[in-house]
Amino acid sequence: MNIPKLSEMSPDEKRTAIGTACGYVRDQISGLWENANPEMPRANYVLPDFLDDLNAMARAEATLIQGTQEYFRYIGALCDLLGSPAGAIFAKADKRAHVFLIAKGLASE
């Protein structure tokens, strides 16, 4: 599998990758988005704006299972990006989204 670079992904590609990783599925007939994951809204019809909405990214982060390698990769990368664990608390949605994509193996730096 060829992992795209973050710098080569459009905002829509990033949102779609995060949405798909969180369980969103696009209906082939209507083109609307739905989600079977109980942590996410069931029927959004459009993907949440993971790049600009902290609430959307908080729901995406909730899909990471605490204690797993993926979870620690995410937390570590977020702290590295912002220089400290305290800085990670204040990370904006776009930074969290980028780190989420890398931790999930959906994008590279």
SS3 for 108? strand
Burial group, residue 57, by CB count within 10 angstroms (0-12, 13-18, 19+) = buried
- 28 confidence band (pLDDT: 50, 70, 90): confident
Burial group, residue 10, by CB count within 10 angstroms (0-12, 13-18, 19+) = exposed
pLDDT for res 55: 94
Higher pLDDT, 18 or 109: 18
Strand partners, 108: 5
Q: 39-92 pLDDT, tens per residue?
A: 666 565 788 999 999 999 999 998 888 888 888 889 888 888 878 777 778 889
Identify the weakest region by mean pLDDT among 2-11, 28-37, 67-76, 92-101. 28-37
pLDDT for res 37: 66
pTM to 2 decimal places: 0.85
Q: Where are the domains of the chain?
A: 6-103
